[in-house]
Amino acid sequence: MGEEVCITDCRTFDINCLDRDVLRVSRYEYAHHNGPYGDEEPEHEVYRHLAYRRFCFLIWQKLGRGNRRVIPSCAVLAIRKAFPNPESVAYTGFKPAVSE
């Protein structure tokens, strides 16, 4: 058996989750299906959200509304490093789905 490799070391992760051009296209797709992000949304937060969505699709495909998964910390840290908050702003973290 081969050695296990962290997903963040794979080129596929970089292309799908960290490349701004790919995320920009994802933003258009998101807006087409869900409406645009608000004008007040900081760009780094939008890119981070899109990167998390793309990661989930890459690993689990379409999850559907309310079906959430915890993203591995290595991926979260890589995405946060690429699209960081200002120093004094805390990150939100995982939020479980709300029952309707």
If you write DSSP's letter for every residue of 12-75 in order, what string do you get?
HHIIIII-HHHHHHHHHHHHHHH-PPPTTS-HHHHHHHHHHHHHHHHHH----TT---PPPHHH
Q: What is the pLDDT of residues 22-48, one digit of tens each?
A: 999 988 888 878 777 777 778 888 899
pTM for this entry: 0.78
Q: Return the pLDDT at 68.
A: 73
Please give the single-letter amino acid code of residue 57: F
Cβ pair 78, 11 in contact under 8 A: no
Kindly state the greatest CA–CA separation across the chain: 49
Predicted pLDDT at 98: 66
Q: Model confidence at 91, in pLDDT bands (50, 70, 90)? A: confident
pLDDT in tens, 45-73: 889 989 998 998 888 877 677 777 788 89
Q: Which amino acid is at 23?
A: L
